[in-house]
Chains A and B, each alone.
Chain A
Amino acid sequence: MSNHIVSTRIYFAVFAALIVFTWVTVAVARIDLGLYFNTVAALAIAVTKALLVVLYFMHVRYSTKLTKFVVAGGFLWLVIMIGLVMADYYTRAWIG
């Protein structure tokens, strides 16, 4: 599994997608989509780019199940950290 050799064609395709997404994120940021949707769009594009890098450049798609679980677990903890902090910040005003 770990000795899978990714063809250079896939690398160039991922590279092209990353460049296109960079243009898209700059273009979308200049359009007013409203306070939240601009952020959602920017993050959606960034997450897509990060996934491409993790899966293909970092070979996680071709890695063992254990590695996949560990990687997913790492990002899960990041989401928990940011999620809980924001749950606190967002609801503080409710108590006044």
Chain B
Amino acid sequence: MSTPSAEHPGHPAALLHHFDTAEQQKDASTLGMWLFLITEIMFFGGMFTAYVAGRFRFHEAFKEASNTLDVTLGAINTTVLICSSLTMALAVHAAQVGKKKQIVWFLLATILLGCTFLGVKVVEYHDKFVHHHVPGLHFHFPGPNARNAEMFFSIYFGMTGLHALHMVVGVGLLAVLAVRAGKGWFTPDYYTPVEMTGLYWHFVDIVWIFLFPLLYLLGAHFAITGH
């Protein structure tokens, strides 16, 4: 991509006509990607707001329902996602320094970790169905706070479900990148798709960084002290 193309001898093929320099082109992509991510922040933000309002109103029910979640599985998944963010950052780094084979390996590692996260999520969702903690006709929760606990689980499934959907999309994007990286598309002069997909992947990681303490750890100290 760095060699001047036959049709456009004046500049590298990866540089589009309407940009002055490759740096300007990349800054524009970064800004555009961030604008998209901000719409995502507001999108998840709406659900975080619903969570905050629900927790404020139904504090007892939320902490009881939160205590039924498996903190160990949640912590494992947090670790898995942080590892995947590292391999993603290393994939971008490999692209920047032109280690083409390493890009593919780090992308594949990121895909594997992403799938591991989704696998653990499947186990957790399965448990919820077994224990009748899925909102709906068959929902069952002991104690007087059942209706409001159902609200917590609605928010739990809404937020983790949309987060998991973002993970699925991310794994798809990474798979496309891995194939293209394997064909040698990305060079130190042009690796914008790797970097932009990285931004998306890290964003999804950040959403989980907030979901884990808010959903899983909310009532943890009550479980110990029995308040």
How many residues in B have their beta carbons less than 8 Å from beta carbons of A?
Answer: 53
Q: Determine whether the beta carbon of B96 is less than 8 Å from that of A5.
A: yes
B56: chain A residues at CB < 8 Å are 86, 89-90
CA distance A87 to B19 in the complex (A): 46
Q: Determine whether the beta carbon of B41 is less than 8 Å from that of A66.
A: no
The size bracket of the interface on A is 35 or more
Judge whether B220 is part of the interface by a CB distance below 8 angstroms. yes
CA distance A70 to B27 in the complex (A): 13
Q: Determine whether the beta carbon of B41 is less than 8 Å from that of A11.
A: no
Starting from the known contacts A26-B220, A32-B222, A64-B27, 19 additional A-B residue pairs (CB-CB under 8 Å) come to: A2-B26, A2-B30, A6-B93, A11-B93, A15-B82, A19-B82, A29-B221, A32-B221, A32-B224, A32-B227, A46-B209, A46-B212, A49-B206, A49-B209, A53-B202, A57-B89, A64-B30, A73-B38, A74-B37
> A13-48 toward B: CB 8 Å interface, digit per residue (1/0)?
001001100100110011111000011001101100
Q: Determine whether the beta carbon of A86 is less than 8 Å from that of B224.
A: no
> B172-199 toward A: CB 8 Å interface, digit per residue (1/0)?
0000000000000000000000010011
Judge whether B57 is part of the interface by a CB distance below 8 angstroms. yes
Q: Determine whether the beta carbon of B213 is less than 8 Å from that of A82.
A: no
Decide yes or no: A53 and B205 within 8 Å by CB, A46-B213, A67-B27 being known contacts: yes
Kindly provide the distance from the CB of A64 to the nearest chain B CB, expressed in whole angstroms.
5
